[in-house]
Amino acid sequence: MARRVHLHIGLPKTGTTFLQTTMWENRDALADQGFCYPGRNRMQHYHASQAVRGISRAAQRKHHGAWQGLIDELAAWDGDGLVSHEFFSMASAKQAIAAVQALAPAKVHVVVTVRSYVLQFPAVWQEALKMNSSLSFDQFMEAALANRLKGAWSWDSQDIPRVLGRWSAAVPPEQLTVVTVPPPGAPRGLLWERWREAIGIDDNHFDLDVHYANESIGAAQAALLLRVKPYLSGPLTAGNVRHRWVRHYFGHEVLVPQRGERFGPRPEQAAALTARSEHAVEVIREAGYPVIGDLDDLVSVQPRQTGLSPDDVTDAEIVDVAARAIEQMIRDVKQLTESRDRWRARARRAQGHTPRGFVRRVSGRLRRAWSKTHG
């Protein structure tokens, strides 16, 4: 069994996609220095978090063995292990204890990445909006501050003291490290430097220029997405399709490149969130958890990110964003259509000059390419 397992439990929207992508793309370099980042793919860590949180076998379907698969791979390793997914944060104390016991006899080091709530909740709302929420930002913040949010984007995954308290039932404080996410304006690589220190990674042979598509959208872009949501129908309402085409394509590939203006909570909302952040800082200090970074990061408030709300974006601003989005989507469809036409032409030429089996193979490639690019 691995001698030690670093279990990164989130929180969601604290740079987790960046950290996970960087580690996954450098798995060979990690292995060379004794770290096993297990799994057939990165999503296995998400499915493992489902198993730890008690999601039924029926709901997990073909992924029901994900957690055991990671455990088995770590059992065959004699160095350090790495497991990372932000939804481990929602495990109950009992579930956290069971997860740590399942990794025995490895010593489990729990790592929690945390960020200022004032900076966190605009990102949390965006993620919810890209998926199944149709709440405006003000509605979302009202529900959050009244403790009415449910599911993955609620305080179950966001309440720093609550998450630390649950996992403290599974490991002693000295085995639970808090890593603070730097505020905007900090050096670009600072979060990675803090993560590297927390885990003990030597990244001299890493490729750190990896792509990770989970950037934020601006206020006007978010307002457009909110207007689009009620019109989604048919297959676009299915979770996996919505994730691929609404969240990834429309959100990340079309709206993110517009580089819209950052936004944040209204002043009164920011004040309430700051008070909760200050309480989290007190809890961390009193418990004596090891901290990498600066706890002042948790009460960071950027003036340019407060007071501007997507709810205040005008119709004219939304139309401008929509016009640019439509132009981008027309170019994308043009490129895909031209690619499809080239495959069709190739198949027609092959049909007249090559054996029938080759024609079937080319036609099959055409169908798969069209299906892949058009869902």
pLDDT along the chain (375 residues), means of 10: 96 95 96 97 96 93 95 97 98 98 98 96 94 94 96 95 98 98 91 97 91 77 96 91 92 94 92 96 98 95 66 96 98 95 87 61 63 54
**CA trace torsion 231, 235, 238, 241 (10° rounding):** -100
66 burial type by CB count under 10 A (0-12 exposed, 13-18 middle, 19+ buried): buried
Q: What is the pLDDT of residue 209?
A: 86
Q: Which residues neighbour 348 within 8 Å (Cβ) at sequence distance 6 or greater?
A: none
Q: What is the pLDDT of residue 235?
A: 92
Q: What is the pLDDT of residue 11?
A: 97
Tokens representing 122?
Answer: 């605009």
Q: What is the pLDDT of residue 13?
A: 94
The 3-class secondary structure across the chain, one letter per residue, is CCCEEEEECCCCCCCHHHHHHHHHHCHHHHHHCCEECCCCCCHHHHHHHHHHCCCCHHHHHHHCCHHHHHHHHHHCCCCEEEEECHHHHHCCHHHHHHHHHHCCCCEEEEEEEECCHHHHHHHHHHHHHHCCCCCCHHHHHHHHHCCCCCHHHCHHHHCHHHHHHHHHCCCCHHHEEEEECCCCCCCCCHHHHHHHHHHCCCCCCCCCCCCCCCCCCCHHHHHHHHHHHHHCCHHHHCHHHHHHHHHHHHHHHHHHHHCCCCCCCCHHHHHHHHHHHHHHHHHHHHHCCCEECCHHHHHCCCHHHCCCCHHHCCHHHHHHHHHHHHHHHHHHHHHHHHHHHHHHHHHHHHHHHCCHHHHHHHHHHHHHHHHHHHC
pTM of the model: 0.88
Q: What is the pLDDT of residue 352?
A: 66
Task: Work out the number of other CB atoms within 10 angstroms of the CB of residue 48.
Answer: 27
Tokens representing 35?
Answer: 């770290």
CATH class of 4-116+157-211+275-305: alpha beta
CA atoms within 13 A on the CB side of 90: 20
Q: What angle do CA 233, 252, 140 make, to 5 degrees?
A: 65
The CA distance from 271 to 43, in Å, is 36
